[in-house]
Structure 1
Amino acid sequence: MEKDYLLKKWLLNGLTEEEQRTFDALEDAPLYKAIAASASHFKASHVSSPEAFETLKEKLPKQETAIKKVSWKKTLLQIASVLVIGLAVYYGFFNTQATHIKTVAAQKTTISLPDNSTVLLNTASTITYHEDSWEKERELQLDGEAFFKVAKGKKFDVKTSQGIVSVLGTQFNVKQRGTLFEVSCYEGIVQVSYAKTVKKLLAGDTFRIDAGIEYSGTTNHEAPQWTNNRSSFKSVKFQYVLEELERQYNIKVVYEGDKQTRFFTGAFVQDNLENALQSVTAPLGLTYTFEGTNKVIILD
């Protein structure tokens, strides 16, 4: 694992000074360097035109062509050696498979990571990580929402399209839905990086940014409410509430009113659709009706 990791980073010119010293001490390091040096000199041969060759041929004295025996077996073995090394480098280091875990509508799942950290993945969410380099770089990509319980150890990074959350050992929730990016810390300290800004959150702190607008708040819960089958919201666009309803119940919600400037504070349960719809519509003076079994129309 150590050797494979160092070789992969060396090929990509990504070694730190300490890793470079470790790599240089490897038994096969001179061979790898020799292969790389030879490869850097490969280039296409210059090909003369047929006319130039014929002119030169006429000027040369005619002579017997010396016949030299070629050891094809030796040549083929040399070619095979180069191919084996090339294929090993390509398939062993550049074709590593990432682990993708995805949930669909109305589904949640718990994942155990290589370091025994756990991830509870909310509905319609995806995480991606590489097991082969996990010991060196604990990082994963998140699209959606997840609650993390991180084992003590090296830095742990959760990357999203909107920002990065970095921790050592803690419990926190990350939500990235469209332009909404929200982080809540439940234990320890987390660092949130987005654009050119870095923020630190302590236990009980929450931070949200949506389309450039920031919001900071607090929570007195020990874990996000969705882990207990309850979706909660605090001053969020009504659009996000309706989208979460669709994800949790695998339904289509239609609302022709203003979803962008109307804000909602409240919650709905994830195991009773009628109850959930009443919780969402009643506080805003709205009504709803069903169209078929999987479509809900919300009316002003």
Structure 2
Amino acid sequence: MQQARQWCITLHSEQCSKEQLDDFRRWLKSDPEHTRSFRQAETLWRKAAYCQTLTETPSLQPADNLTTTHSRRHHHLWGKWLSAVGGLVALSACFLLLLLPINYSQPADPVHFRTSVGEVKDFTLGDGSVVTLGADSELVTWIDARQRHARLIKGDGLFRIQPRPELPFELRVQQANIEVLGTVFDIQQQGRSVQVAVEEGKVRVNYQHHSSNLTASQRLNVDAELGIGAAKPLELAQFANWRQRRFVFHDVAIEDILTTLNRYLQQPVRLSTPGLGSERLSLAFRLEQLEQVLDSLQSGHDIHWRRTPSGEYELFR
């Protein structure tokens, strides 16, 4: 709230620079609570602006031209006194609004959920929803009687959200916001791309002033450069298949493929040839077929592999 109030002061000043505006946008997007706090601070700011107009109350004027000079002077001084007192009371009330703690706006305490490399685990959230996190994944939630917010910091997640029509569940993944009332959906992150797939119910995906609605058996990609892609049919046999260590990559950079796989592998795959990671591949396989896949890369893409003395996999050309 202190940061939000400071941003209100900065944004309403006449000296707010473009750089400060960019900083504000980044701050606003970095955490769902920042948006809530800023809305509350902005509301109080507007109340303060409204109170400020009370100081502009004109002095009381004589009722008619028959008022004596003494009476006019008396009314004029009385009006100025009332205006000044009214202004001071109004400003004092506004400052109290800005300075007093706002109990109802205090966010819920964040709760962190994490998995280690190779670990897939179920977690029950504060509202009874259940999340399955993929390997080496991290989720933070803010859940209480007034809000249901979460952020998938890294990795994959299968969300089974308890239906509460009066209180949507809001999930942030990279720069995308996902809103649901109650549904089952899957999130997979591949580099700067996020895939959203829905098994049951409906979700709304928002990204940079654009949005798309998904229903059961649909999926879409949100790309940092391309934005929200079109909704496509989802084969339910492939829904959240990372739970069985099965992976499907469509035109994905090798470095992003390895980032995903290495969260599930105790012996990671590394690149030793510069520039190789930017090449794009389409692959579908189970994790236990890794060496077969590497053999196919060697024959079909001239990408070789070997095991290092420490047991890691190394790709080179």
The equivalences for 1:141-220 within 5 A come to 141-144=151-154, 145-154=156-165, 155-214=168-227, 215-216=229-230, 217-220=232-235
Look up the match of 1:293: 310
What is the TM-score of this pair, normalised by structure 2?
A: 0.60
**Higher alpha-carbon deviation: 254-263 or 140-149:** 254-263
**Aligned-residue offset at 1:159:** 1.1
Higher mean Cα deviation, 190-199 or 275-284?
A: 275-284
Q: Secondary structure at the match of 2:136?
A: coil
Partner of residue 137, structure 1: 147
Alpha-carbon deviations, 1:212-267, whole Å to 9, x = none?
12544332125311022212222222221111121110424114264465322222
Residues 1:108 and 2:120 are matched in the alignment: yes
Alpha-carbon displacement from aligned partner over 1:170-226 (angstroms, at most 9, x marks no partner):
111123454222211121211000111011112222211333125443321253110
Q: Match of 2:150, as an amino acid?
A: L
Q: Indicate conservation of the 8 Å contact 1:157/1:167, yes or no.
A: yes
Find out whether 1:236 has 2:260 as its counterpart. no
- Structure with the largest fraction of helix: 2
Gaps of 5+ in 1: 1-8, 17-35, 44-85
Shift of 1:90: 9.7
Q: Do 1:124 and 1:247's aligned partners in 2 also have CA atoms closer than 8 Å?
A: yes
SS of the residue 1:243 aligns to: helix
User: Of residues 242, 256, 260 in structure 2, which corresponds to 1:226?
Assistant: 242
Q: TM-score, normalised by structure 1?
A: 0.63
- After superposition, the Cα gap between the structure-2 partners of 1:99 and 1:197, relative to the gap in structure 1 and judged at 3 Å, is same
Q: Deviations over 1:24-72 (max 9, x none)?
A: xxxxxxxxxxxx959839x9xxxxxxxxxxxxxxxxxxxxxxxxxxxxx
Q: Which amino acid aligns with 1:40?
A: L
Mapping for residues 111-126 of structure 1, pairs under 5 Å: 111-126=123-138
Percent of matched pairs sharing the same residue? 20
Deviation of 1:283 after TM superposition, in Å, equals 5.3
Q: Quote the Cα distance in structure 1 between the aligned partners of 2:171 and 2:134.
A: 15
The SS at the match of 2:236 is coil
- Contact 1:162 / 1:179 at 8 angstroms: preserved in 2? no
CA shift in 2, pair 1:256/1:130, >3 Å: same
1:58-77 map, 5 Å: none
**1:264 corresponds to:** 281
Structure 1, residues 86-130: CA drift from partner, whole Å, max 9, x if none?
A: 9xx699986963111112221221111122211011112111112
Asked if 2 retains the 8 angstrom alpha-carbon contact of 1:252 and 1:295, the reply is yes
Q: Distance in 2 between matches of 1:95 and 1:199?
A: 28
